[in-house]
A and B are shown apart, each in its own frame.
Chain A
Amino acid sequence: GDSVTQMEGPVTLSEEAFLTINCTYTATGYPSLFWYVQYPGEGLQLLLKATKADDKGSNKGFEATYRKETTSFHLEKGSVQVSDSAVYFCALSDQGGATNKLIFGTGTLLAVQP
C-alpha cells in the first residue's frame, strides 16, 4: 500500500542554519503531497502542499518540490528561527480516490537553538 518515509529526528540546528527534512513516498496513483507542522501542545497545521509533479509548495519561508522521478518531497528552509521548533509531518493523499485519506510519515522533531 501507499506509504511515507521521513528522516528520523530530532534535528537540532542553530538559528539561521539551513534546514532539510527528507521525505520519500510510495504510491500507486498520483498523490497530492503535504507538509504539516505541529507546535508544542497544539494540533496540526497545514504548512504547504503540492498536487502534481514539479509543483513547488511554499509558505513562511519553507519550500518543498514534488519530485516524481525520485518520489520525494523534501522540506527546506534557508534560515531557521527558534520559533520554527516543532514536529513536521509529511503526508500523501490519493486525490483520485473517493475518501482523500491521508497517510502520514512518523514525524520529525526540529529543535532550533539560539
Chain B
Amino acid sequence: DAGITQSPRHKVTETGTPVTLRCHQTENHRYMYWYRQDPGHGLRLIHYSYGVKDTDKGEVSDGYSVSRSKTEDFLLTLESATSSQTSVYFCAISAAGTGGETQYFGPGTRLLVL
C-alpha cells in the first residue's frame, strides 16, 4: 500500500460540464501520474508531475489539465467533459526501491459522461 487515495471513486456527469478528480498521497513521493484505462488500450498516460507546479503531458493529454500545488495532491481536470472521456482513471506514484523506480497505483475513479 503506497498510501494513495482517489476521490471521487465514482462519478456521473453530463457532457460539457467540468470535472476534477483528486489524487492524494501520504508518503511525499516526487513523481505522480494520471492514466486512463480503456478496453483494448491498456493504461495510457494523460499527464504526470515531477514536483510542485512541475507537470508535463503524456500520450493522451488533449482535453485534460492538471495541477499540483502541494506535494501530496495531484488534480486532474476535464475542462468540458465529453463522452469519449468516459473511462476509469488511475493515479500512480513512483517509489524508489531495489533495482530502481516502481509505480504504485491508486484504486481508480470510474467516470461516466452522459
Binding site for B on A (CB under 8 A): 4, 32, 34, 36, 42-46, 49-52, 55, 89, 93, 95, 98-102, 104-107
Interface 9-mer from B14-22, B78-86, B105-113: B105-113
| CB of B49, distance to nearest CB on chain A (Å) | 10
Task: Tell me the dominant secondary structure on chain B's binding face.
Answer: strand
Given contacts A45-B105, A93-B101, 17 further A-B contacts (CB under 8 A): A32-B99, A34-B102, A42-B108, A43-B107, A44-B105, A49-B102, A52-B99, A89-B42, A89-B43, A95-B101, A98-B50, A100-B31, A100-B100, A100-B101, A102-B43, A104-B42, A104-B44
Contact of A101 (CB < 8 Å), options: B41, B45, B102: B45
Q: Which of B3-51 contact A (CB under 8 A)?
A: 31, 33, 40-45, 48, 50
| CB of B2, distance to nearest CB on chain A (Å) | 10
Binding site for A on B (CB under 8 A): 31, 33, 40-45, 48, 50, 56, 58, 90, 92, 94, 99-108
Q: Given A89-B42, A101-B58, answer yes or no on A43-B99 (Cβ-Cβ < 8 Å).
A: no
- Chain B residues within 8 Å of A42, by CB: 107-108
- Chain A residues within 8 Å of B42, by CB: 4, 89, 104-107
Contact of A43 (CB < 8 Å), options: B100, B101, B105: B105
- Chain A residues within 8 Å of B43, by CB: 44, 89, 102, 104
Q: Are A99 and B50 within 8 A (Cβ)?
A: yes
